[in-house]
């Protein structure tokens, strides 16, 4: 049973290894948790097998799936709705007409059956999420009104904590790597790109080398070395306006995170696709733009290039001269992008649109092709992969 669980985890692509599984077995063997109830096993296995909060949610899901039907006996009692209690309630609150309506529906037993069915259905639909049924109105139980506000079925918070399966609560869902994107998370992902190197003026005392050299030469020979610096240099290109408006927040976050992470970072704006000019201030884009040629000539080829954009436009805007929606471009966007890629070997495209839609948008496929598949979704996972790619 545990082996199956382990393979389920593997299959869900959680990074679990044999060593960790053995560790869990050892812990079980040594009776780390006294009474072997399911919750303790859940805590123990989580602690032994999951090593990153990003995977906690996935782990919860797999655990729920693998040990479906395995519950502590207490929860049985809370799932069952005491029939007599409901009957009593009904007698207390129902008017005579309403009681008649129930009879016409097939009587109490029928009603209870429907209720049970409804419970099952609801559970399936929410996948163990919300346990409420009938919030007044839609279910017959609300409609016929045992109580003006409907009856809440399920167990109350705090009444019996054990009854709610802990892993069903999905408390860590917002830590999942594919979902959340905050400035801090982006920073961590961007940090992958850091590469420290000693470069520039020699200002620090190199103690080890000094000693070595002193011993070698027989007199004090002071050696200096340059300070360690992050030597990564980045050019960021942001798509602004139009279809990108929906993604402004996420781009802002990426931008502010990138700003503090890289010492040498230059940013430029473009619209939809790269043409012969870019700009730095969105308010003055028509007066104050920078020729793309100048960019290509100013920054040496060891800069890493990151494009951020949804790549959603008419394919003509990329492939044909004059395709731009805003002005007459002498050369096609494709020409410009290729030029850029020829200069900068390390370049990637970050796309805020979820990956599953990419194939359906013609322009996205074209750009992805131009970038030889180096297009990544703008999620933590995606940025992470992108940074690995840039580091190659």
Partner 1 sequence: MKFEGTSSYIATEDLKVAVNAAITLERPIIVKGEPGTGKTMLAHEVAKSLDAEIITWHIKSTTKAQQGLYEYDAVTRLRDSQLGDEKVKDIKNYISKGKLWNAFESDKRPVLLIDEIDKADIEFPNDLLLELDKMEFFVYETGETIKAQNRPIVIITSNNEKELPDAFLRRCFFHYIKFPDPNTMEEIVEVHYPDIKKDLIQEAFKIFYDIREVPGIKKKPSTSELIDWLKLLMTDDVDAKILREKDPKKLIPPLHGALLKNEQDVHLFERLAFISRRENENVE
Query: What residue ranges bind partner 1 (CB under 8 A)?
Result: 15, 17, 19-20, 23, 26-27, 30, 32-33, 39-40, 43-44, 46-48, 50-53, 56, 158, 166, 171-172, 175, 183, 188, 191, 207, 211, 214
* % helix, strand, coil for the chain, step of 5: 50, 15, 35
- Residue 352 near residue 310 (C-beta atoms within 8 A): yes
Closest to partner 1 by CB, 73 vs 158, is: 158
Smallest distance, partner 1 to C-beta of residue 201, A: 20
β-strands 304-308, 289-291 pairing: unpaired
- Within 10 angstroms of residue 329's Cβ, the number of other Cβ atoms is 19
Closest to partner 1 by CB, 175 vs 343, is: 175
- Fill in the DSSP letter of residue 161: G
Smallest distance, partner 1 to C-beta of residue 327, A: 35
Closest CA to 374 of 361, 388, 363, 360: 388
Closest to partner 1 by CB, 17 vs 127, is: 17
Smallest distance, partner 1 to C-beta of residue 188, A: 6
- Within 10 angstroms of residue 136's Cβ, the number of other Cβ atoms is 15
Q: 3-class SS at 274?
A: coil
Closest to partner 1 by CB, 56 vs 232, is: 56
Closest to partner 1 by CB, 149 vs 227, is: 227
Q: Report the alpha-carbon distance of residue 20 to residue 10 in Å, rounded.
A: 12
Smallest distance, partner 1 to C-beta of residue 99, A: 41
- Residue 19, exposed/middle/buried by CB under 10 A (0-12, 13-18, 19+)? exposed
Closest to partner 1 by CB, 6 vs 270, is: 6
Smallest distance, partner 1 to C-beta of residue 67, A: 16
β-strands 277-279, 347-351 pairing: unpaired
Angle at 54 between CA 52 and CA 55, to 5 degrees: 80
Closest to partner 1 by CB, 148 vs 218, is: 218
Smallest distance, partner 1 to C-beta of residue 19, A: 5
Alpha-carbon 205 to chain mean position = 44
β-strands 196-205, 224-230 pairing: antiparallel
Smallest distance, partner 1 to C-beta of residue 76, A: 21
């Amino acid at each position: 049973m545990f082996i199956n669980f382990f393979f389920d985890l593997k299959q869900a692509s959680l990074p679990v290894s044999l060593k960790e599984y053995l560790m869990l077995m050892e812990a079980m063997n040594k009776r780390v948790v006294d009474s072997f109830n399911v919750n303790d096993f859940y805590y123990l296995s989580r602690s032994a097998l999951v090593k990153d909060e990003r995977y906690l949610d996935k782990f919860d899901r797999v655990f729920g799936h693998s040990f479906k039907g395995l519950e502590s006996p207490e929860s049985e009692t809370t799932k069952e709705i005491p029939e007599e209690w409901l009957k009593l309630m009904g007698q207390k609150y129902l008017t005579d007409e309403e009681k008649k309506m129930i009879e016409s529906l097939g009587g109490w037993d029928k009603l209870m059956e429907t209720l049970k069915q409804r419970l099952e259905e609801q559970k399936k639909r929410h996948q163990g999420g919300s346990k409420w049924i009938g919030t007044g109105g839609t279910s017959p139980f609300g409609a016929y009104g045992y109580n003006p506000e409907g009856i809440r079925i399920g167990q109350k918070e705090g009444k019996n904590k054990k009854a709610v399966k802990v892993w069903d609560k999905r408390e860590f869902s917002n830590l999942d790597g594919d979902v959340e994107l905050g400035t801090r998370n982006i920073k961590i992902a961007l940090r992958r790109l850091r590469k420290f190197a000693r470069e520039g003026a020699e200002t620090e005392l190199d103690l080890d080398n000094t000693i070595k050299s002193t011993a070698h030469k027989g007199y004090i020979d002071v050696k200096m070395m340059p300070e360690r610096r992050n030597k990564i240099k980045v050019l960021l290109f942001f798509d602004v306006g139009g279809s990108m408006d929906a993604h402004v927040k996420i781009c802002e976050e990426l931008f502010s995170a990138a700003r503090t992470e890289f010492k040498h970072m230059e940013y430029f704006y473009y619209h939809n696709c790269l043409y012969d000019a870019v700009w730095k201030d969105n308010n003055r884009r028509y007066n104050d733009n920078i020729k793309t040629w100048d960019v290509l000539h100013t920054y040496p080829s060891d800069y890493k290039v990151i494009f951020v954009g949804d790549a959603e436009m008419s394919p003509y805007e990329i492939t044909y001269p004059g395709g731009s929606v805003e002005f007459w471009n002498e050369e096609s966007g494709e020409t410009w992008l290729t030029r850029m890629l020829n200069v900068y070997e390390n370049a990637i495209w970050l796309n805020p649109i979820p990956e599953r839609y990419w194939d359906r948008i013609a322009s996205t496929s074209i750009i992805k092709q131009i970038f030889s598949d180096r297009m990544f979704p703008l999620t933590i996972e995606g940025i992470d992969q992108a940074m690995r790619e840039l580091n190659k």
